[in-house]
Amino acid sequence: MRDRALLAVGAGAIALSLIGPAVQATVSGSTVAGWDQYGYMGNDMMDGWWGQSGTTDTPAPIEGARTVEIVVRDFELVPNDVRVVAGEAVNLTVTNEGAAPHDFTVPDLGIRVVVAPGQTKTVGFTASAPGSYDTLCTVPGHANLGMVGALVVEKA
């Protein structure tokens, strides 16, 4: 009987060692490769989200700049790929057509526009370095549901 009990405990330990990392990845963050690096999927994101319109540290709109319209909805970014030219002043106008709070975030450029359902916000920026930058909605789970894309900064 004791041998069977030890065998059962051993089998359970092996099973946990095999599935544990997958369970941990799902519980602690995104299952979309790479999004964990931004640290937006934890429970700390719940603070200040629900029922609030949100704030952003991104600068105010730039007078005379080209405007790029972005729509966030349950659960997509439209367009999911945005193209700008290096050195170009750009205003991002983000409209939430969804039923839930969303945001449009470009972590590597320090852009985060938080919009409540039905809300529109415009922020300005100038991207200096050409490259492709990840975009996503940082509300817990939304990137997993497809709210991801790229902001491509092309050479002038």
Q: Which fold has domain 35-154?
A: Immunoglobulin-like (2.60.40)
Whole-number pLDDT of residue 43: 35
Cα–Cα distances (Å) from 101 to 8, 55, 139, in that order, read 46, 12, 8
Whole-number pLDDT of residue 77: 97
Sequence ranges of the domains in the chain? 1-28, 35-154
Going residue by residue through the chain (156 aa), what tens digit of pLDDT does each one get? 555 544 444 444 444 344 343 333 333 333 334 444 444 443 344 344 443 344 445 689 999 999 999 999 999 999 999 999 999 999 999 999 999 999 999 999 999 999 999 999 999 999 889 999 999 999 999 999 999 999 999 999
Q: Please, what is the Cα angle at 113 between 107 and 115, to 5 degrees?
A: 140
Whole-number pLDDT of residue 59: 80
Whole-number pLDDT of residue 116: 95
Strands 89-96 and 66-73: parallel
- Contact assessment for residue 82 and residue 135, using Cβ atoms and an 8 Å cutoff: yes
Q: Would you state the structure tokens that stand for residue 115, as one six-digit string?
A: 């919009």
Whole-number pLDDT of residue 3: 55
